[in-house]
């Protein structure tokens, strides 16, 4: 398993070369701070009534296991019209399993369609976090959700030759998104029956 600039095997942990596709992201995937403080914060979710919030944290541990299942990917969407209910905090908890949650998450308006797909494919099995998905164009969100659930990359043509580029490996992960509006409603703006995404 490769995380950031580290390769973890059954027998050892060793430095790993960082792919150019993930170089900017990889610098935020490293242990920092105190494990004891992180553990105390994570255990704060272990209270009655916080089960939904704990799901975000558990998704951070579960995402690397998706490649071992028959399901290529799935999305958890935290929905509430109110702020301050813990949507982003739950997503950050899951992202904190591997790195800095603020810098490893994407926020509305901060990424293009290609950047969302590039990030999803580059991290392969690590939790994908998208804050405020409400503000993303419905068509872009539809394509992203479909790619996550299918685990596939998009096909591209070469720029200098009339030929298809080598197809990138897909990804198998869990995505956690926060939203103030139902993603189902957003998807229905684009398709009458968005069953594939749902």
Q: How far apart are CA 65 and CA 174, in angstroms?
A: 9
> pTM here?
0.88
Low-confidence stretches of the chain (pLDDT beneath 70): 153-168
Q: How far apart are CA 119 and CA 100, in angstroms?
A: 15
Residue 190 has a pLDDT of 86
Structure tokens at 106: 């994407």
Structure tokens at 57: 């944290």
Q: Where are the beta strands (DSSP E) in 91-184?
A: 106-107, 128-131, 173-179
Residue 37 has a pLDDT of 95
Tracing tokens 């603020």 back to the chain, one arrives at: 102
Q: Which of 17, 29, 14, 1 is nearest to 119 (CA)?
A: 29
Q: Are 86 and 53 in contact (CB under 8 A)?
A: yes
């Amino acid at each position: 398993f490769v995380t950031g600039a580290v390769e973890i095997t059954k027998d050892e942990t060793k430095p790993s070369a960082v792919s150019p596709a993930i170089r900017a992201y990889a610098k935020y995937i490293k242990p920092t701070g105190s494990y004891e403080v992180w553990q105390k914060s994570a255990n704060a979710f272990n209270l009655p009534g916080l089960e939904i919030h704990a799901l975000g944290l558990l998704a951070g541990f579960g995402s690397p296991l998706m490649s071992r299942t028959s399901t290529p990917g799935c999305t958890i969407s935290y929905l509430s019209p109110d702020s301050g209910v813990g949507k982003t905090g739950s997503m950050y908890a899951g992202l904190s399993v591997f790195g800095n949650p603020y810098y490893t998450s994407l926020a509305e308006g901060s990424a293009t369609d290609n950047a969302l797909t590039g990030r999803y494919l580059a991290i392969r099995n690590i939790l994908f976090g998208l804050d405020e998905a409400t503000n993303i164009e419905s068509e872009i969100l539809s394509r992203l959700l479909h790619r996550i659930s299918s685990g596939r990359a998009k096909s591209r043509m070469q720029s200098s030759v009339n030929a298809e580029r080598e197809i990138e490996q897909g990804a198998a992960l869990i995505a956690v998104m926060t939203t103030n509006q139902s993603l189902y409603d957003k998807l229905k703006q684009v398709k009458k029956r968005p069953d594939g995404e749902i």
